[in-house]
Structure 1
Amino acid sequence: MGVKAVSRVFAILLAGVTMSAATHAATYAYVSNADSQDISVFSLDTANGALKPVETVGLAGTVMPMALSPNHLRLYAGVRSKPYRVVSFAINPLNGRLSELGKAPLAESMAYVSTDASGRYLFSASYGGNLLAVNSIDSNGVAQDVQQIIKTGPMAHAIRNAPDNRYVFASVLGSDAWLRLKFDPSKGSLTEDAAPAYSLAAKSGPRHFVFSPDHRFVYLIDELDGKLHVLAFDNQRDSVKPVQTISILPPNFSGDKPWGADVHITPDGRFVYASERTSSTLAAYRVERASGKLTRIGTYATEKQPRGFNVDPSGNYLLAVGQLSTSLSAYRIDRKTGALSALGQYPVGKGANWIEIVQFDGSNAE
């Protein structure tokens, strides 16, 4: 083979490698639409925050909570209409499309699903069933049958593992309690502590919570009193102490009652955002690194009844949906101040309530 021919072959191979790498460097957003009974899939251009529709995947049921596997190659979608089930999807890193891998029963209608750090177990919390549950996940990342059920007080709302995977925490809205449960990763079993890890004021209604990226703090939003709590997290003892309680309500709030929903933190841990459904707003806060305390940046109008939103893995964009809106709003996050600026709106299904965002850079592709 001549030099020119070899050069041409090398150029073709190089172009193929470059194209594959560029394809893997992609970000996708998944929106569950309860009333449309489907999931909207978008690609996110991280250069400008523009979204492009990829596909809509039907589930023939009221799809609401979703969770990503730790390696981001699987998406788990909880269906809250009978038969209660979790649907496991494979995510194609090349285009973001979903391929159904299997269905498994859930113990009840689940308001929240998440996985442990290994990706071997699926946790769920039932608002109506007053319980927590564990499903196993097989070696292919497909959720299997329920293997444990733990009864709680009324209205269990969220469940997440601690960063060290030794404990799992769960918020129980009707008991105003944040529970701690010992987790055995070899068996996938939970054992509840005799007392809550943190008790809140009566009728607070603890809902969703997130750990800071450095594992030093927990941010816990209430549903009923318009509050957001900052808890210092001792990652040696997996215990918390209160640091601050701050309002999520806009200054001119005039609704009959607060209705807190979701909370997220940027990947660098500098900014926290919370959604409030009565006023249809997003509250933005700056994090004081040493103490974890929050300072209000501003309040931003968003989609009507914003039950779900999320921050992309780059920390540059926030996507929000509303249960009474058929649009998704995209915002740019100012990396210096945390302020939000609206970029555009995109059509989604009815009853949009949850967003998961995944980024592929080639290292997490199969």
Structure 2
Amino acid sequence: MLFIGSYAEAEGPGVYVYELQTDTGELRQLDQVSGLKNPTFLNVDEQNQRLYALTEAAVNGGKGGAAASYQIDISTGKLRELSREVNLESTTCHINRDADNKYLVVSSYHGGTVGLVALNGDGTIGELVDTKQHTGHGADPERQDKPHVHSAFFSPDGRFLFVSDLGIDIVRAYTINEANRTLEFHADTHLPPGSGPRHLAFHPSAKYVYVINEVNSTIAAFSYNQEEGRLTALEVVPTLPEDFQGENTTAEITVSQDGRYLYGSNRGHDSIVVYSINQDSGTLTYVEHVSTEGGHPRHFALTPDGSLLIAANRDSNNLAVFRVNKETGQLTFTGQTAKVSKPVCVKPVQFS
């Protein structure tokens, strides 16, 4: 199944469920959910068959962040709402969940904040238990005038939470104090001025971390010390061809399940860049650029078996499905597409 979040008005559909045929790449819609304003990012709890979606809510006369939870009927793909709760006083752009299903973590680009939200055992969303406000600004006067928290990802062992702040060129690591249910500062990793870190991906070996930078269209590679929860810079590579002259911002980044290849999306060049990963050093070697067959690839994802990549093109209102050559890392468009209004996030899940 494929779960899609989008920009949408509450009156219309915003979260979609599709069936994906991995042999052909064909997509067939199973369900759609209305009632959420801009449910842009999703998180799927495969084990408990639940979906968590961001949404907007009225807070103190302005726009704030909220989250909704759904039960997934894996036989039909239908979604049943379990709960909905307001959390941050500013709108949110990313949602994640710890492996023990104790917390949701929500990120606010406009507020420069990260929030820790309690998660109940029945999948309903609890209260906001802690918030951390970032401060400062970056080198770019337009894009980095203030903090812009864009995402939060847990380390593979769950001990550390890495928060990318586009506005201040920092990936900030936190730990969770279980006794107090608070986020505790651990360490900052500084990126080159004007980078604008957006999302990151861990290598399956947990030896390396890759950060895609939205403002200057680069990927920063780091070695990762699992015990200390610290990143050490290795190199920075471009996401764009040398001869590209237009405007561009990056979006999503992921590493193949076997750890051999890295993929990142360009919005402007409207492409996926592919790099191979040196398993001994973590450094990157360019493979290719592939058109996403649409405009503004806000997000993309590999299927659980690694055979397909699905790109969500927001401005052309379509999903595009690519076949992955696992030996070379290269992508081939399958010809399969689906029309979806302003897709922002795509989450493929194989339920057992």
Q: Same fold (TM over 0.5)?
A: yes
Instruction: Select 2:19's aligned residue among 39, 43, 47.
Output: 43
Relative to total residues, which structure has the larger helix share, 1 or 2?
A: 1
Aligned residue in 2 for 1:351: 342
Quickly say closer, same or farther: Cα 1:94–1:37, change in 2 above 3 A: closer
Instruction: Select 1:182's aligned residue among 168, 175, 183.
Output: 175
Displacement after TM superposition at 1:227 (Å)? 0.5
Determine whether 1:91 maps to 2:67: no
| Distance in 2, Cα, partners of 1:328 & 1:263 | 17
Conserved? CA contact 2:131–2:183, under 8 Å: no
Determine whether 1:75 maps to 2:51: yes
User: Residue type of the partner of 2:238?
Assistant: S
> Cα deviations across residues 220-260 of structure 1 (Å, max 9, x unaligned)?
0000111001111111111111112111013431214x301
> Cα deviations across residues 198-241 of structure 1 (Å, max 9, x unaligned)?
10111110100011122111110000111001111111111111
Instruction: Select 1:222's aligned residue among 213, 216, 229.
Output: 213
Aligned length: 331
Conserved? CA contact 1:286–1:294, under 8 Å: yes
Instruction: Select 1:284's aligned residue among 261, 264, 274.
Output: 274
Conserved? CA contact 1:76–1:87, under 8 Å: yes
Determine whether 1:33 maps to 2:24: no
Quickly say closer, same or farther: Cα 1:70–1:45, change in 2 above 3 A: closer
Quickly say closer, same or farther: Cα 1:248–1:203, change in 2 above 3 A: same
Counting only pairs closer than 5 Å after superposition, residues 230-269 of structure 1 correspond to structure 2 as 230-256=221-247, 258-269=248-259
Percent identity of paired positions between Structure 1 and Structure 2: 25
Q: Which has the higher contact order (CA 8 A, sep 6+)?
A: 1
Relative to total residues, which structure has the larger strand share, 1 or 2?
A: 2
Quickly say closer, same or farther: Cα 1:356–1:232, change in 2 above 3 A: same
| Distance in 1, Cα, partners of 2:6 & 2:232 | 37
Instruction: Select 1:170's aligned residue among 163, 168, 175.
Output: 163
Displacement after TM superposition at 1:186 (Å)? 5.2
Structure 1: which 4+ aligned runs deviate by more than 4 Å? Answer: none
Aligned residue in 2 for 1:18: none
Unaligned segments of structure 1, at least 5 residues: 1-27, 362-366
| Distance in 2, Cα, partners of 1:329 & 1:70 | 23
Which structure: larger Rg?
1
> Cα deviations across residues 243-300 of structure 1 (Å, max 9, x unaligned)?
12111013431214x3011101122212111001011111011111111211111101
| Distance in 2, Cα, partners of 1:172 & 1:249 | 22
Conserved? CA contact 2:219–2:236, under 8 Å: yes
Aligned residue in 2 for 1:126: 108
Aligned residue in 2 for 1:204: 195
